[in-house]
Amino acid sequence: MLVLKFISFLVLINYTLQIKFKEDPKLISENSIKNLKKISKYKVIEYQKHPFKDYTTSQIANLFGVKDMDPLSFKIRKKGPKRSLLDATGDSTTPTSIINSENNLYGSVAITSTILPLNYMVTENYPNCGSFVKNQGRCASCYALAISEALEDRICVKTNMQTKVTLSSQLIISCDRNSFGCQGGYLDKTFEFLNLYGSVTESCFPYTSGLNGIVPKCPSRCNNGSPFFFYRSQTHYTFRNSAEMKNDIFNNGPIIAGFAVFNDFLSYSSGVYKLTPGATYLGGHAVKVIGWGIENGEEFWICKNSWGTGWGEGGFFRFAMNHCCGFESNGFAALPMI
């Protein structure tokens, strides 16, 4: 009798696992990679090296943490104030001596339009500004990782590389009540959090949610018991076009872009990414934009992702400019409060 009950239990477990697998299948297969290689405009990663080949549909969902992405227009519905860096029809390569002065909540800011190079990365002018590629892991925390990294880079740029810090994304994930921890967040609300409260250093409150998707309680002191020291941002702003985005990167450091991710993007290995016809929309993602370039007459953005060094070009990627996915419609930035 006990043997029969045990066999029945094993059958039930096996059936349950089969149902679960069917309801939550893997998205990456050898055939899907072979088919993508035939039609993609960029180099596709080999299946055996694919960082997401064992991920199920629900696990893939944890890569996309941008809330409020309109699935039709690919625009983020909630945004901060727009800040004009150039005329709406301006060309970033056109000489101009216009200096706009705008009043934001933090006062008057001089915004200078300059002649920009065809190829540029922030680290060319500020070689000590930048950090290692992170892996968000099992947490939809791209919004927190990208924004905290952009702020730390801008602190470095603003102080001419005299202040180099690594900021805690975990503090945003654990303490910002307007976001949803490992279930994603709002880009504008995250910027508001850094404006009102700020963030501490990574050593004070390290990132751990990527290991298992668990969000630790918001702390009142650093892990070692020392008091918090906060790094804050000024009021965030958005952009009207790629020219404004480039101008701000050149003058102030990296910015954030939210964009719609399709399933072909998961398999990017190198080259300039262009959306593959027939690809399936997966969700909204946020990355740090660190520069731009031009290849065969086509411009592209240079971006840092949060999927580890095993993805893309060592964790980075190039994205065709003014091409798709709401990339230029969802640019955000904020100056550091120094």
Give catalytic status of residue 35 as yes or no.
no
Q: Nearest CA to 26 among 49, 47, 56, 46?
A: 56
Mean pLDDT of 171-193: 96
At residue 143, the 3 state secondary structure works out as: helix
Mean pLDDT of the chain: 85
pTM across the whole model: 0.84
- Whether the CA torsion 82, 84, 85, 89 is positive or negative: it is positive
Q: Which CATH superfamily is domain 44-333 in?
A: Cysteine proteinases (3.90.70.10)
Active site residue: 247, 252, 305, 330, which one? 305
pLDDT band at 107 (very low <50, low <70, confident <90, very high): very low
Does pLDDT of 34 surpass 50?
yes
139, 285, 325, 330: the catalytic one is 285
Instruction: Tell me the C-alpha distance between 27 and 53, whole Å.
Output: 7
Per-residue pLDDT band for 98 (boundaries 50, 70, 90) equals very low
Condensed to tens digits (0 to 9), the pLDDT of residues 67-80 reads 988 888 888 865 54
- Clarify whether 285 is annotated catalytic: yes
pLDDT at res. 7 = 40
Torsion of CA 312, 241, 109, 233, to 10 degrees: -40
Q: Which of 139, 142, 204, 325 is catalytic?
A: 142
What does the angle CA 292 – CA 153 – CA 251 come to, to the nearest 5 degrees?
55
> Considering the chain, what percentage of its residues have pLDDT values greater than 70?
82
- The whole-number pLDDT of residue 114 equals 67
Residue 11 pLDDT > 90: no
294 φ/ψ angles, rounded to the nearest 5 degrees: -140, 135
Active site residue 142: yes
What is the average per-residue pLDDT within 324-329? Answer: 96
Percentage with pLDDT > 90 across the chain: 75
pLDDT digit string, tens, across residues 12-21: 334 333 334 3
Instruction: Give pLDDT, residue 150.
Output: 98
Torsion of CA 195, 198, 202, 205, to 10 degrees: -140
Identify whether the C-beta of residue 142 lies closer than 8 Å to the C-beta of residue 180: no
- Name the residue with higher pLDDT: 76 or 264: 264
Tens digit of each residue's pLDDT (9 = 90 or more) over 111-139:
455 689 999 999 999 999 998 999 999 99
List the chain domain ranges.
44-333
By the 8 A CB rule, do 169 and 140 touch? no
Q: How much is the pLDDT for 69?
A: 87
pLDDT at 45 exceeding the cut of 90: yes
